[in-house]
Amino acid sequence: MLTSTVRAVQWVNEGPKGGSCRLLDQKRLPSEENFHDYADYRLVSKAIADLTVRGAPAIGVAAAYAVVLAAQEACTLPENGRRAFFDDALHTIAVSRPTAVNLGWAVARMGGLATGRIDADLTARLLREALVIQEEDIAFNNRMARLGSDLLREPVAAMTYCNTGDLATGGVGTAFGVLRQGYVDGKVTHVYTCETRPVLQGLRLTAWELAKNKIPFTAICDNMAASVMRARKVGAVFVGADRIAANGDAANKVGTYALAVAAQFHRIPFYVVAPSSSFDLTLASGEGIPIEQRASEEIVGVLGSNRPPYAMSTFNPSFDVTPHELITAIICEKGVIVAPDTKKVEMVFR
Amino acid sequence: MLTSTVRAVQWVNEGPKGGSCRLLDQKRLPSEENFHDYADYRLVSKAIADLTVRGAPAIGVAAAYAVVLAAQEACTLPENGRRAFFDDALHTIAVSRPTAVNLGWAVARMGGLATGRIDADLTARLLREALVIQEEDIAFNNRMARLGSDLLREPVAAMTYCNTGDLATGGVGTAFGVLRQGYVDGKVTHVYTCETRPVLQGLRLTAWELAKNKIPFTAICDNMAASVMRARKVGAVFVGADRIAANGDAANKVGTYALAVAAQFHRIPFYVVAPSSSFDLTLASGEGIPIEQRASEEIVGVLGSNRPPYAMSTFNPSFDVTPHELITAIICEKGVIVAPDTKKVEMVFR
């Protein structure tokens, strides 16, 4: 079984006054490894919004801890003010970012426990649940890593996108867990990591995790992926997901769709690796998935001091949707859904 | 007829001691518009290598002027040393960059004139030829712009890649000329410019040219192009080329191939716009086109001060080859080659 190289999200400092949520500041990676301890749910919500913590499963775990922080703070208030404060906090946490369904899923799961009096007992129950959410994520990561590696019949160079490892999850990762397990198993010989513009999660974070795990890799610009597929015979693509609809359509970091199109063109298997918490079965298809639009600055900022003297109109969706027809299989802790569609997803979730 | 908004390459300061090649420093765009005058062919060769001037046709024109500079300098030497000096200079210029065939084409065309004595007369003849090369490029640009715009039956939003305008050519551009003419004709309503990692010619240079020409545009990361095609109904893609083989396979800035794959998937016409000087009929297919590999720093440099503490292995081909099967038509000054293949290219060049 794989173990985490680094914990991006964890609960720390538990004591009489409660504990804190510790986050690794992913914005400063790879040059600096800074951890911050948050005792205020608002700051965790902000950390989710500004990408200090990112990756759908990691956001879910961080959100669960944020709910515990909100309960801790509620307990310091007069009893008649606690419920309104707590419900407001839950809402704030849930809307930190729109696309990853794990966020709403974690808040709903935690909120569902908090039906009665908001007190120290409830806070303790919420903390246990948040720890269970992280423990489950760790176990699911390992299960998916095993399932994914076992899908590979022979050693291949694999391609991945964005970041889906320790940093993006509670445990060893989704797609990245498969790459790690595959490397251990001798099934993955090399990894191509796409840089993932504009926030460069692939160049900054996945490259960092690959280096930490001593897995041989090559970083490329996103626009080179199709050429690499054509020339270098990449044998499989593994990506994560932020929200998967009932028919298997999967939202993931923008650029995933382009990669899926290229993989189909080159007849390279394209795998989505995501836990059941990333599924949103209330949505029939990917069309209903809300896509976060982010600031123009994320794109234009690459120019640094070399700014244009005119306003730049940009389009900066943080995610795109890969239709299920382009997905070879979804690897979930519940099983591998080959050639996913509504019926097959339903069978796994029955 | 369109006229240049800015001259990226031109011959200036012609006087008794000769003239200079003036280049707009494209590395500093869009924040600064600096022109430098070069009287030394070695510096022009260096400017080609370091991307001060880039774009296949512009490189061809700059190379022609560099040959004139070499002849000027040869004339200052004793007669028995001129030929060796000049031939050596021609070689230096020709190998400044490997992929754009216009470079070798221009040097060969100029060198072909320089068979006799190297003196002031020859230098004058070479200058006339270099000016003709630029004049031809200007005329060919306008011809292609007209042919390209006429291909559009109805108004569309168009997508383009890298930079192919005033900056990349002797005149108004190849693909960019079509966009400008199309905009004037009411055929192109909006332009999506892909940023074109790693050197960002799309975000820096094409956006700058679009702004100068007041054409409405949106800048996107390269990895968003496929999503834009899917969602926004881009009606056509226009790109340039650095070298086109006899069968129509076209080398262009890396990422062009990914765009062609995505265009085919979405059934969007994909046009390559290039003058006859970009054809290399000695190569049967794109497999023979040499692809320049550039420094890792171009990719990793985007991290600025946020460098990783480990060595980053990258793959940085500056170009890729789009097979002719993915090209709807090649727009050349000699005519439009629809669904290009060896036979159709041959017919146009007969």
Task: Tell me the pLDDT tens digit for each residue of B79-91.
Answer: 999 999 999 999 9
- Which token pair is B128? 């006339």
| B139 φ, ψ (degrees, to nearest 5) | -65, -40
Kindly list the residues from chain A whose CB atom is less than 8 angstroms away from the CB atom of residue B197. 195, 197, 221-223
What's the rounded Cα separation, in Å, for the pair B88 and B42? 11
- Whether residue A224 contacts residue A287, with contact meaning beta carbons closer than 8 Å, is answered with no
Please count the other Cβ atoms lying within 10 Å of the Cβ belonging to residue A177.
31
| A232 φ, ψ (degrees, to nearest 5) | -105, 0
User: What is residue B232's predicted lDDT score, i.e. its pLDDT?
Assistant: 77
B97-128 CB burial, b ≥16 within 10 A, e <16:
bbbbbbbbbbbebbbeebeeebeeebbebbbe
Of residues B227, B306, B314, nearest to A317 (C-beta): B227
Q: ipTM of this predicted complex?
A: 0.95
User: What is residue B239's predicted lDDT score, i.e. its pLDDT?
Assistant: 98
- Whether residue A101 contacts residue A243, with contact meaning beta carbons closer than 8 Å, is answered with yes
> Which residues of B are known catalytic residues?
242
Kindly list the residues from chain B whose CB atom is less than 8 angstroms away from the CB atom of residue A33. none
Minimum distance, in Å, between the CA of residue B249 and any CA atom of chain A: 14
Q: How many CB pairs under 8 A join A and B?
A: 185
- Whether residue A315 contacts residue A308, with contact meaning beta carbons closer than 8 Å, is answered with no
Minimum distance, in Å, between the CA of residue A220 and any CA atom of chain B: 6
Name the nearest CA neighbour of B55 among B151, B212, B196, B220.
B196
User: What is residue A320's predicted lDDT score, i.e. its pLDDT?
Assistant: 97
SS (H, E, C) A211-234: HHCCCCEEEECHHHHHHHHHHHCC
Taking an 8 Å cut-off on Cβ atoms, the answer to whether A299 and B200 are in contact is no
- Whether residue B26 contacts residue B196, with contact meaning beta carbons closer than 8 Å, is answered with no
Nearest CA in chain A to B301: A302
Taking an 8 Å cut-off on Cβ atoms, the answer to whether A313 and B211 are in contact is no
Of residues B195, B211, B257, nearest to A226 (C-beta): B257
Q: How many alpha carbons fall within 13 Å on the CB side of residue A244?
A: 29
Kindly list the residues from chain A whose CB atom is less than 8 angstroms away from the CB atom of residue B305. 31
Which positions of chain B have pLDDT values less than 50? none
Minimum distance, in Å, between the CA of residue B305 and any CA atom of chain A: 8
Report helix angle A256-265 to B225-232, nearest 10: 90
Name the nearest CA neighbour of B217 among B197, B189, B182.
B189
Kindly list the residues from chain A whose CB atom is less than 8 angstroms away from the CB atom of residue B34. none
Q: In what order do the strands lie in the sheet with B270-273?
A: B217-220, B188-194, B156-160, B236-239, B270-273, B329-332, B335-338
- Whether residue B174 contacts residue B161, with contact meaning beta carbons closer than 8 Å, is answered with no
- Whether residue A252 contacts residue A220, with contact meaning beta carbons closer than 8 Å, is answered with no
Is residue B191 classed as helix, strand or coil in its secondary structure?
A: strand
Taking an 8 Å cut-off on Cβ atoms, the answer to whether B315 and A261 are in contact is no
B243-282 CB burial, b ≥16 within 10 A, e <16:
bbbbbbbbbbbbbbbbbbbbbbbbebbbbbbbbbbbbbee
- Whether residue B142 contacts residue B2, with contact meaning beta carbons closer than 8 Å, is answered with yes
> Which residues of A are known catalytic residues?
242
Using CA of residue B338, residue B341, residue B345, residue B350, what is the dihedral sign? negative
Nearest CA in chain B to A196: B223
Report helix angle B175-184 to B120-151, nearest 10: 50
- Under 8 Å CB-to-CB from A297, ≥6 apart: which residues? none
What's the rounded Cα separation, in Å, for the pair A293 and A286? 16
- Which token pair is B130? 């270099």
Taking an 8 Å cut-off on Cβ atoms, the answer to whether B303 and A200 are in contact is yes
What's the rounded Cα separation, in Å, for the pair A145 and A132? 20
Taking an 8 Å cut-off on Cβ atoms, the answer to whether B300 and A203 are in contact is yes
Nearest CA in chain B to A316: B220
What's the rounded Cα separation, in Å, for the pair A199 and A50? 11
- Which token pair is B197? 């990692």
User: What is residue B90's predicted lDDT score, i.e. its pLDDT?
Assistant: 98
Taking an 8 Å cut-off on Cβ atoms, the answer to whether B203 and A302 are in contact is yes
What's the rounded Cα separation, in Å, for the pair B134 and B60? 9
Give the burial class of A196: count Cβ atoms within 10 A of its Cβ; 0-12 exposed, 13-18 middle, 19 or more buried.
buried
Under DSSP, the state recorded for A310 is: S
Q: Are strands B156-160 and B188-194 parallel, antiparallel or unpaired?
A: parallel
Taking an 8 Å cut-off on Cβ atoms, the answer to whether B30 and A306 are in contact is yes
* Beta bridge pairs of residue B9: B23
Please count the other Cβ atoms lying within 10 Å of the Cβ belonging to residue A79.
11
Kindly list the residues from chain B whose CB atom is less than 8 angstroms away from the CB atom of residue A306. 28-31, 204
- Under 8 Å CB-to-CB from A347, ≥6 apart: which residues? none
In angstroms, what is the C-alpha Rg of chain B? 20
Minimum distance, in Å, between the CA of residue A350 and any CA atom of chain B: 32
* Beta bridge pairs of residue B36: B23
- Which token pair is A172? 């060893």
| A256 φ, ψ (degrees, to nearest 5) | -65, -40
DSSP states of A242-299 as a string? SEEETTS-EEEETTHHHHHHHHHHTT--EEEE--GGGEETT-SSGGGS---B--THHH
Q: Torsion over CA of B310, B315, B319 and B324, rounded to 10 degrees?
A: -150
User: What is residue B231's predicted lDDT score, i.e. its pLDDT?
Assistant: 85
- Tens place of pLDDT per residue across chain A (350 aa): 899 989 999 999 999 889 999 999 999 999 999 999 999 999 999 999 999 999 999 999 999 999 999 999 999 999 999 999 999 999 999 999 999 999 999 999 999 999 999 999 999 999 999 999 999 999 999 999 999 999 999 999 999 999 999 999 999 999 999 999 999 999 999 999 999 999 999 999 999 999 999 999 999 999 999 999 998 779 999 999 999 999 999 999 999 999 999 999 999 999 999 999 999 999 999 999 999 999 999 999 999 989 998 888 999 999 999 999 999 999 999 999 999 999 999 999 98
- Whether residue A62 contacts residue A7, with contact meaning beta carbons closer than 8 Å, is answered with no
Of residues A31, A255, A314, nearest to B306 (C-beta): A31
- Whether residue A253 contacts residue A322, with contact meaning beta carbons closer than 8 Å, is answered with no
- Whether residue B266 contacts residue B316, with contact meaning beta carbons closer than 8 Å, is answered with no
